[in-house]
Structures are given as C-alpha cells and as structure tokens.
C-alpha cells in the first residue's frame, strides 16, 4: 500500500487478515493532523500524545462499527475531540480555577514548554483561544487553522451549520477583542 486510498483501506478493513495493515495506513495518514488539533486544545505534548493514542485505540476497538457512511477523517476527529473534552472536563474537575487563574495557567504551560517556539503574539493568540469555551475553541481551530467546511465540522461535532457559523462568528469577535486588549 503506497498511497493512501480510503476506498481501498475500507475494503481491507473488512478482511480479518489485512485489517491491521489497513489500520496502520490510517494511523500514518491521520496521526499528524489529529495531533496538531489535540495539541492546540491541551497545549502539552505529553497530554496530546496520550489523547492521540487513546483516540486510535478506541478507533481500533470499534473499527467494526465504521461502515464508511462518513469519511474516516470525520470519524477519527469525532473520537479525538470527544477524548479532548473528556480530558478537559477531568482537568476542570480536579482544579477549579478562576478565569484569571486559568489564563495564567495557559501562560505558565506555554512558557515552560520546551516544544513551544511561539513569539509573544502567538502566546497572546493562544491565550485568547483558550479563553473561549471548549466547543467554541474546537470550532475556531477547525475553521481557522484547518479551513474545514462547516458541513464537515457539523458532522464531527453534531451541531447544525447555522449554530456553527454563529459560534465561529462569536469566537472571532472575542479573540479580536482579546488581542486588541493584550497586544
């Protein structure tokens, strides 16, 4: 299997002898793009790595239920973002921080991260994104960085296109206000 061909991969998934091989191709194809989406939400590499692993382990365990009605990427993004939400909710349950403390937490996390190369503007930009509710962050990241269509985001998040457009519009306004205030 040289080049990723979704139809071919889905066919191979039905074959018990070649299912593992097909899944390896899926991991190779999607791990990087999923990782960056997860990393933007959780910031830390270690957490992003754990969530990415859990995403693929869950996908592997439920691969029989993937019937090819949706795109493989949509299915994987849905699992990954659900895993992110579970992770964020757990974090929030463990430490109840005020909005200001949460903002400081983002700053500290970025400053102590050896694998963060961003300048001051990018730091403020990330703080602005993290000031949004989690689902709004997801909508903003998928639309702004990945330039995903609303229809696809709608399939991933299970929200109507209209609601997503409104959510993105609000997110942009809030981020712009944050940037104006902090830059």
Partner 1 sequence: MGKEDNILRKAGTSNPFRVLEHYFDNFTEELMGKLPEKEPLPFSTEPTLWERVKPWVYMAAMFCGIMLSVRIFVGEPQKDEFTISQAEAEMLPEEEWENFIRRAFDDNYETYQFLTEANNNH
Interface residues toward partner 1, by CB under 8 A: 16, 19-20, 23-24, 27-28, 31-32, 35-36, 39-40, 45, 49, 52-53, 56-57, 60-61, 64, 115-119, 121-126, 144-145, 169, 172-173, 175-176, 179, 183
- For partner 1, give the closer residue by CB, 123 or 135: 123
At its nearest, how many Å lie between partner 1 and the CB of residue 73? 16
The Cα 81–Cα 31 span in angstroms is 13
Residues 6+ apart with CB under 8 A from 168: 139, 140, 143, 150
Rg (CA), the chain: 18
Residues 6+ apart with CB under 8 A from 126: 40, 43, 106, 110, 118
- For partner 1, give the closer residue by CB, 36 or 108: 36
Distances (CA, A) of 16 to 22, 72, 121, 160, 164: 10, 18, 50, 37, 39
At its nearest, how many Å lie between partner 1 and the CB of residue 172? 5
- For partner 1, give the closer residue by CB, 94 or 112: 112
At its nearest, how many Å lie between partner 1 and the CB of residue 96? 27
The Cα 129–Cα 179 span in angstroms is 10
At its nearest, how many Å lie between partner 1 and the CB of residue 99? 21
- For partner 1, give the closer residue by CB, 27 or 85: 27
């Amino acid at each position: 299997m040289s080049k990723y061909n979704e139809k071919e991969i889905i066919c191979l998934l039905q074959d018990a002898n070649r299912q593992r091989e097909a899944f390896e191709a899926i991991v190779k194809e999607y791990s990087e793009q999923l990782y960056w989406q997860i990393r933007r939400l959780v910031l830390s590499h270690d957490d992003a790595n754990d969530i990415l692993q859990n995403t693929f382990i869950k996908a592997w365990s439920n691969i029989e239920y993937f019937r090819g009605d949706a795109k493989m990427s949509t299915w994987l993004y849905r699992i990954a973002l659900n895993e992110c939400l579970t992770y964020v909710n757990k974090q929030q349950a463990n430490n109840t921080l005020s909005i200001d403390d949460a903002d400081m937490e983002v700053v500290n996390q970025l400053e102590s991260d050896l694998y963060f190369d961003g300048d001051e503007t990018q730091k403020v930009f990330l703080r602005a994104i993290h000031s949004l509710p989690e689902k709004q962050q997801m909508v903003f990241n998928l639309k702004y960085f990945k330039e995903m269509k609303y229809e696809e985001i709608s399939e991933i998040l299970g929200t109507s296109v209209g609601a997503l457009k409104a959510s993105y519009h609000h997110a942009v306004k809030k981020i712009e206000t944050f940037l104006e205030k902090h830059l």
